[in-house]
Structure 1
């Protein structure tokens, strides 16, 4: 079998490559850098804005793992259209798409919704992984440095906002399992259940670092300022808009009926397990 992995050198794709390589599977790592070196994988450079390059990468693939890059939403929509066109042309045997937490309701008009809808219409075997928030977001310098230096964990959600947090490692576990489960289609939710709150996160960080850590709610605009140097103004504005939208919701908890726990028998890592595993 041949596995094609988008963003293979990044935070989301790299764990999928590592898991497949460890299992001795043949992996094609898609990157924008033709000189990239990816352990255990053949590197293929492909531009998300080129249907032709993506089609060539997908041809003959038994499975493809897709997620959209962190760029402006306008660019993400363009990428989504090209990916769908390439899937239609190449018709890989199986496609697994991670929404990265973006909404996929058709009415939103967002890139993730375009991609999810396009895959459904393409007539290929596919599944959509739907996480809520990534634990790796808490490793951004603005957040983890505040934990270390001030004993607070700042994040743009209410203190009572319960969410089913997940790690990129949990997404990789689900993706690898779904490659071999063509009987599972549609949306698979991934995240901790029961959901946890900001103070729960702070308590886990405190236990890990051996100190008292308090949760500090901040505004989406404050968060925008902290992530702009990392991802750029356009994507940072989109992130702020996302958290503004989240502030109107009562919670962001996964649905158990279509969860990885129920469908795949995979239990996501707790915050403490994740912290211990990454070794910070």
Structure 2
């Protein structure tokens, strides 16, 4: 989340007003204060690795017993994906983080896995599987396509390649856990105050898998205020078809407010962290 504090054109934002906007001091009621914030649910991901887009007949192994490995063969020992992940990129550039441990993994080779969405196999090609960890470097996970949209995803069996030859791989029947994948959101909010007049403007976009871009589609967001340690509902910000909307009110009270996009089955929500003004 990135935050910047700006002076509205024609107004002077003094040091005391800046302190007020950050919740650390007071400011004259005559001064205009504008605070711009942004948020996103798009994750930081490793560089995309290009693996061959091929379709391997791995689905037939679902009901077979595990492949018997010879000593030294690659072995997918851990395939645990983090929960509540997002689609955010057109094509197959959506990284679903997870802890993927491959014992005896061949150096500089690639791994492919089978993808299932809502219980149905994705037949176009096998997504690339990257060994690593969900929360630390090197990051591990699956490069999944966005075309199927949000839903329940799981993966396996997989092909662990030990050379660049298409047929040189070990078939591993290990399956991942099932995770909920939603469309990512990102937004920008502006908090403006002039005396008693308060206004919050929001521009919120959601990823649209059908066209591979972020755009309008969320119809409303929530403006909340903090009371003790609890966030309470204050106003609803209605958003137009472009994802933009605003609310305003008059008060001399000073509170911490935030804009919240609720999480649904298809949308991963977020908030802008809160602003005291």
Same fold (TM over 0.5): no
Band of TM-score, shorter chain: under 0.3
Structure number with the bigger relative contact order (C-alpha 8 A, sep ≥ 6) is: 2
Larger radius of gyration: 2
TM-score of the two chains, using structure 1 as the length reference: 0.27
Structure (1 or 2) with the greater strand fraction = 2
